[in-house]
Structure 1
Amino acid sequence: METVRLTTAQAVVRFLGRQWSERDGVEHRLVERCLGIFGHGNLAGLGEALLEEELRDPGSMTFTTARNEQGMVHTAVGFARMRNRLSTLACTSSIGPGATNMVTGAALATINRLPVLLLPGDVFATRASGPVLQELESPATYDVSVNDVFRPVSRFFDRIWRPEQLPSALLGAMRVLTDPVETGAVTLALPQDVQAEAYDWPAELFEKRVWHVPRPVPEKALVDRAAALVRSAQRPLLVAGGGVIYSEATEAIRAFAEATGIPVAETQAGKGSLPYDHPLALGAIGATGTRAANALARDADLVIGVGTRWSDFTTASRTVFADPDVRFVNLNVAGPDAHKEAGLPLVADAREGLTALTAALEGYDAGAAYRERAATLAAEWDRVVEDAYTLGHTPLPAQSEVIGVVNEVSGPRDVVVCAAGSMPGDLHKLWRTRDPKGYHVEYGYSCMGYEIAGGLGVKLADPEREVYVLVGDGSYLMMATELVTAVQEGVRLVVVLVQNQGFASIGALSESLGSQRFGTCYRYRDPASGRLDGGVLPVDLAANAESLGAQVVRVHGVGELRKALEAARGVEGGPVVVHVETDPLVPAPDSEAWWDVPVAEVAEVESTRAARATYEREKHAQRHYLAQPPTAP
């Protein structure tokens, strides 16, 4: 048997450069580059291996220096999402704090079912030098390190104690990265002495390997039963989730809607499944939804969920589907999601399932009156959006006006990126999507600090698209450091930095729950009251962005914002940050839906008591969807 003598780290890097995914006959590089920050736990192992590979075969595994370990995982997530989970990035860190900094990013990837490969350094397998710098000592066992915290947030975890263990671990890791059901964070912990240890590897380990990404088809009997349920319904509604986008099923969903007349609402991850101006597009659904989608949801007697995991925001904490006899049909590649809400489970790829269901419904139509109602409600909401875009609020613009300007200036294939604060909810209900990949809001984990790092990944995945990162001051302060990575790599992002002096989203929620925006504003401590309700802090985030190497434009009002964004489209090189102040007290239009956030049952504060009364009233509408779908005739 032919062998190749390499260190364990060299074997990892060479193997990754030869892995491909394939779907529908099209191949994609599975791991396109490695992001990393070096320390004593990975410098002489993976660091040396990446250097050798760059010299030996330039381009096979490009290395990019990151600035924050959590941030680089977010970049990998943004990249993987933009590539519909067919390609991703690897991330390497040292042991200790470098590794644990990646845990939040791992959780985000796994919750969103997006593939990322994490390669943290680890303690000595031989224990020759233990305890090493940054090693956690457990009094109960010597085989635990801080990397064990990756286990609950990873879809696959292994620690390579011996070189002989590497081949099976690598193959297991690739299996999970390319599995549309099981994918998420994959962690291979690499003890630093094992990284540098040489071994004679089978040469076939480094041959090109192509991993097929399947499209499971639905069981015909269940398709027929689902079709019978649709035919028996009077007010059917389809809810499109992220699975529609990832399986590239947007044409299939358009064909289904147009053939059947069933209107389509969208989750955060599914936004863009239909263009916003399609006559059967209702836009966002749930707690951050449109009134059009939520109105039809309240009346729906059958809900077809495609590629959604039915989160609390989507169902408005199980209040938005109000018909007492509502039934669910769930088309999902993941069995657990297909069985939620006691739905009829169609376990299949979204595109394949929609195609089969469309064929089974040949000749069916929800009716002209139902189509007309959907179109009328959608048109009414679009007028609400236009009003929000052109509010004319002074002296500071409303956040909805900022969204409107970005939407107006951006091209049909450009991408908006956001993750946390009030912006994702406003974008969900207000953004006019025109392209399936044009809306990139991370709302599975809604992680503050994702925006700039995730936007970097989006741009790396598709450099031809303009990428607009919308980030509030609170999220910017969490993690802006990947601006430096964008500067280093010459990656142009247009970052719209919205300054509203605090946490606008949680402030509004606090007020609605009777907590009076406590602790949600950036203010000095008032000597008289002893509370954080003094003057505004003199923090200059524009100056901060400029100090990180970004080109910065300060604007006042939507007119200057529009000019700055138009000018930014022609800027070559690195990131452009456009800083604009907004009024955080101007809300976006109401979705007429609820979100379950418990309020203190007893309180001395009158506003809290009033909020509790409202909470108990809304809570009565909450329900479990446990009814069995009727047996098809």
Structure 2
Amino acid sequence: MTATRRLTTAQALIAFLAAQYTERDGERHRLIAATWGIFGHGNVAGIGQALLETGPAAMPYLQGRNEQAMVHAAVGYARRRGRLSTHAVTTSIGPGATNLVTGAALATVNRLPVLLLPGDTFATRPADPVLQQLEVPYAGDVSVNDTLRPVSRFFDRVSRPEALVPAALQAMRVLTDPVQTGAVTLALPQDVQAEAYDWPEEFFADRVWTVRRPRPDPAELHAAAEAVRAAERPLLIAGGGIRHSAAEPALRAFAEATGIPVATTQSGKGALRHDHPAEVGAVGHTGTAAADDLAREADLVIAAGTRLTDFTTASGTLFQDPGVRFLGLNLDPFDAHKQAALPLVGDARATLDALRVELTGHRVPARYEQTYRAAKRYWDTLVAQACHAPDDTVRPTQAQVIGALDAIAGDEDVVVNAAGSLPGDLHRMWRARSPHQYHVEYGYSCMGYEIPAALGVALADPGSPVWALVGDGSYLMNPTELVTAVQERIPLKLVIVDNHGYASIGGLSEAVGGERLGTGFRYPEPPPGSPAVDLAANAASLGMAVIRAHTVRDLREALAEARSANRPTCVYVETETADTVSGPPPAQAWWDVPVAATATRTSAIKAREEYDRQAAARRRHL
């Protein structure tokens, strides 16, 4: 007779999750390291009781303040852990569940694993409707949790206890699949959570999920090597796939063996140290002049672990050589074939190593190396000028804020950001010293990501100083997890850069004929001015130690004090003027934001003329 254990569905799920592991390169990791939760009637008697029953030694519990933020924290943790470990997130039904949607979309877009466990309405329908039930006249089995279907890589509603077994196994399969991973949702009706069942003991045995490193097909590898040998001006673009597969040493060895320059996407920045001779900086709309000029003239683009989004390709206008070809080095065939690329499907580390061996003896011309190294040096001088403050008694620009933080950060520091003008400035200017230092989420560019994600990073790497670098607009979206940092005694370092509005979109609005409508924090009618909002006082009210920096000198001292602090600490700084976003060199490539095709206002008419001029350079690479 098969041994069984009588547990509720919720208890069985938590016990199962506590026994799941990943393994890559011989190293084993806990798959679900903890569970975040906010409890309501849809999960308090189910998952809540199960966490209590199972105990913190088997499944640690983390208390959040906002459901979306809990997902961001789990994603930040998963990214720092190389996608080998993540967190679960449980919510009640109704608004608690629908608050997960934004976080789930971010996780899936960025291909980062997170397990979502929202409560659901009754499977047995003892009353119809029940509290927070969405009534759909044409379908009785729809709930608000169905909003999570399009943003989840796997979704199942566990309507019977015995259905948990296949659902849980499929959920783990997707979470640990380096191609398919993202948000995984198991919707849990509240009555089923509390229902008892006799579970087979095998369900709770330790289970190890191997994270694969597929090697490339020999024919594809040979064709790729021939394409590289035939190229005179190749450029490698390193994306997030390099970091997810821990392929940084393989990338460095490849660049050093071949002399091929390496540009980086937002997710790939840090794959090579900023001072490596082959590293030419950020590429695309938020790229450096060095990298973007190389991209315009490249006759072969090696897209390594990147999705080639519109920012990376400058909306299809960046790669201008008439005969440019693409080599898609990617674990996912979907991405490997983008831009009609010659595909090279495989794990980034294994494939780069194999391609380097296949190219033994090949190197780009010395004059090409000299050209891109000189361009990189020139760009570095421009960045140094932008970051330098000739007078340290004045209010800093945003570029000088970045420069001051860059100056005091060590190799082990992590900078977390996601939205506004900061991602562009950081992409162009930050000097990444280690693979994990640069943590900018730009696949979904989600305002409010920074603070909770920084908590997740700090939980994953408690020995490193973690900085949440956030603009005032993004701060106002989601500051509540500061309370969590205070409660859990996590020494988060928060930098609030206040420019009194949505300054990034304000600049974009001006460029496209929108005349900054709705982008500044201003009274709608005279007398003019900004509302008297004190974000530093707000952070202090949530338990943070706060340091106000009025000048460049104050800022340097405040950042140093925050870095050494052993409690959650906020540095608050206003940038030079309300309308000054940054002082770095401007965007080096275009980004497609359609402009009104007909208008009466002069600003929109002129913006459309510029739009048509830029759009004419767009290409489809076939």
TM-score by length of structure 1 reads 0.96
- Secondary structure of the corresponding residue to residue 603 of structure 2: helix
Q: Which letter does structure 2 place at the counterpart of 1:526? A: E
Map of 2:478 onto structure 1: 479
Distance in 2 of aligned mates of 1:9 and 1:20: 20
Provide the residue aligned with 1:227 in structure 2.
225
Partner of 1:605: 601
Partner of 2:415: 416
Instruction: Work out the CA distance in 2 between the residues paired with 1:230 and 1:591.
Output: 29
CA contact (8 A) 1:470 1:497 kept: yes
Q: How do 1:16-165 residues align onto structure 2 when only pairs under 5 Å count?
A: 16-54=17-55, 58-165=56-163
Q: Is the 1:274–1:436 Cα contact (8 Å) retained in structure 2?
A: yes
Q: Alpha-carbon deviation of 1:391?
A: 4.2
- Find the counterpart in structure 2 of residue 204 from structure 1: 202
Runs of at least 4 residues of structure 1 off by over 6 A?
none
DSSP-derived class of the 1:152 partner: coil
Q: Deviations over 1:347-389 (max 9, x none)?
A: 1000011001000111101011111111101111111110111
Aligned: 1:569 with 2:567: no
What's the counterpart of residue 629 of structure 1?
A: none
CA offsets 1:507-563 (integer angstroms, 9 cap, x no match): 1111111222111000112148xxxxx311100001111111111111112211111
Alignment partner, residue 251 of structure 1 = 249
Contact 1:279–1:374 under 8 Å retained in 2: no
Task: Please name the residue that 1:594 is paired with.
Answer: 590
Paired letter, 1:595: W
Once the two structures are superposed, residues 77-107 of structure 1 have per-residue CA deviations (whole angstroms, 9 ceiling, x without a partner) of 0000011100000000000000000000000
**Aligned partners of 2:22 and 2:208 also within 8 Å:** yes
Name 1:625's counterpart in structure 2.
621
1:468 aligns with 2:467: yes
CA contact (8 A) 1:504 1:520 kept: yes
Match of 2:540 in 1: 546
CA distance in 2, matches of 1:470, 1:255: 32
Which amino acid is the alignment partner of residue 37 of structure 2?
Answer: G
* Partner AA of 1:568 in structure 2: A
Classify the secondary structure of the residue corresponding to 1:167: helix
1:436 corresponding residue in structure 2: 435
Matches within 5 A, 1:261-276: 261-276=259-274
2: CA distance, partners of 1:490 / 1:346: 46
Please say which of residues 459-468 and 110-119 is displaced more in the overlay. Answer: 459-468
Q: Which moved more, 1:25-34 or 1:388-397?
A: 388-397
Q: Which runs of 5+ in 1 are unaligned?
A: 529-533, 627-633
CA distance in 2, matches of 1:199, 1:41: 19
- The 5-angstrom pairing of residues 446-457 of structure 1 reads 446-457=445-456
Aligned partner of 2:612 in structure 1 is 616
Q: TM-score, normalised by structure 2?
A: 0.98
Structure 2: which amino acid aligns with 1:502? Answer: G
Matches within 5 A, 1:330-409: 330-392=328-390, 395-409=394-408
Deviation of 1:587 (Å): 4.1
Provide the aligned length of Structure 1 versus Structure 2.
617
**1:551-579 deviation per Cα after TM superposition (whole angstroms, max 9, x unaligned):** 11111122111111111222223x11110
- Structure 2: how far apart are the matches of 1:392 and 1:283? 26
Which residue number in structure 2 is paired with residue 511 of structure 1? 510
Partners of 1:369 and 1:558 in 2: CA distance: 41
Is 1:581 matched with 2:574?
yes
Decide which moves more: 430-439 or 555-564: 555-564
* Whole-angstrom distance in 2 between the partners of 1:408 and 1:391: 13
Write the distance in 2 (CA, Å) between the matches of 1:160 and 1:392: 63
Contact kept, 8 Å, 1:418 with 1:471, in 2: the verdict is yes
Give the drift of 1:433: 0.3
Deviation at 1:324, TM superposition (A): 1.3
**Which of 544, 547, 559 is equivalent to 2:553?**
559
SS at match of 1:314: helix
Secondary structure at the aligned position of 1:268 is classed as coil
Alignment check: 8 A CA contact 2:389 2:552 kept: no
| Counterpart-to-counterpart distance in 2, 1:471 and 1:607 | 30
The aligned amino acid for 2:535 is: L
SS in 1 for 2:12: helix
5+ residue gaps, structure 2: none
Aligned partners of 2:543, 2:325: CA distance in 1, in Å? 54
The one-letter amino acid paired with 1:348 is G
1:14 matched residue in structure 2: 15
Q: In structure 2, how many angstroms separate the alpha carbons of the residues matched to 1:391 and 1:512?
A: 28
Contact 2:394 2:552 in 1 (8 A): no
Q: Give the match's secondary structure for 2:564.
A: coil
Matches within 5 A, 1:254-333: 254-333=252-331
Q: Equivalents in 2 of 1:285, 1:168: separation in Å?
A: 43
Preserved contact between residue 499 and residue 574 of structure 2 (Cα < 8 Å): yes
1:491 match: 490
User: Percent identity, aligned pairs only?
Assistant: 60
Q: Deviations over 1:128-166 (max 9, x none)?
A: 033111110111121000000110000000000000100
Separation in 1 of the partners of 2:268 and 2:490?
A: 27
CA shift for structure 1 position 390: 0.6
Deviation digits for residues 562-602 of structure 1 (CA, Å, limit 9, x no counterpart): 111111222223x1111000034244212321000011011
Cα offset, 1:200, TM superposition? 0.1
The Cα shift of 1:411 comes to: 0.6
Output the CA distance in 2 between the equivalents of 1:83 and 1:130.
44
Instruction: After superposition, give the CA deviation of every residue in 1:320-340 in whole Å (9 maximum; x if it has no partner).
Output: 111111000011001100000
1:630 matched residue in structure 2: none
Pair 391,612 (structure 1): closer, same or farther in 2 beyond 3 Å: farther
Q: Distance in 2 between matches of 1:588 and 1:69?
A: 36
Separation in 1, partners of 2:448, 2:386 = 26
Aligned partner of 1:531 in structure 2 is none
Shift of 1:604: 1.1
AA of the residue aligned to 1:328: F
The AA in structure 2 aligned to 1:607 is: S
For residues 9-57 of structure 1, give each alpha carbon's deviation from its aligned partner in whole angstroms, at most 9, with x where no partner exists.
Answer: 0001111001000000100000000001000000000000001111xxx
CA contact (8 A) 1:294 1:591 kept: no
Q: CA RMSD in A?
A: 1.0
Deviation per residue, 1:303-336 (Å, 9 max, x gap): 0010000000000111111111100001100110
